[in-house]
Amino acid sequence: MLKNLDETDFKIIRLLQKNAKSTIKELADQLNLSNTPVFDRIKRLEKKGVITGYTAKINRDAVGLNLMAFCTLTLKGHRAEYLEDFQREVNELIEVVECYHLTGTFDYLLKVLVRDMADYQEFITKKLTKLSNIGKVQSSFVLTELKNETTLPHNVV
């Protein structure tokens, strides 16, 4: 659902995806508008839930998170309370930066960031496998990160 967005809204979204630190004046200048309509549009996009927040993109290696892993896992059971328990528990794991509920062979895909293999082993043995209803866990480790975009495809926005 496009939530009644027009071309100017999409331009604002594209500009903010490139640089969320842009000032209202900078955006207004690029859009050939005055400050007030740009400010009002951004507030409307936030209120509608189109813009959900503003974050800084951090170089994980620069802060010592040198190992990225993807864990696929299956639960032992699939009753609603098991899914709810897992989702609540996984949100407490600071090493898990992304979590997706999947269809297919596995139930969940986790993106995990840690310092090194020793930290990963500790995460798996002392945290992840201690969660209730965990069945099978498989890990894959990132050798090279080729693309890491936070922007949505331009053909959509």
Tell the CATH topology of 7-47.
Arc Repressor Mutant, subunit A (1.10.10)
Query: What is the distance between the alpha carbons of residues 113 and 95, in angstroms, rounded to a whole number?
Result: 5
- What is the residue extent of each domain of the chain? 7-47, 60-141
Output DSSP code: residue 100: E
Q: Would you mind telling me the total number of residues written for the chain in this entry?
A: 157
Q: Give the confidence band of 153 by pLDDT, cuts at 50, 70, 90.
A: confident
Q: Taking the model in full, what pTM does it have? A: 0.85
Give the per-residue pLDDT at 152: 82
Q: Which class is domain 60-141?
A: alpha beta
* Among the ranges given (50-54, 67-71, 92-96, 116-120), the one the predictor scored with the smallest mean pLDDT: 50-54
% pLDDT > 90, the chain:
87
Whether the Cβ atoms of residue 42 and residue 35 lie closer than 8 Å to each other: no
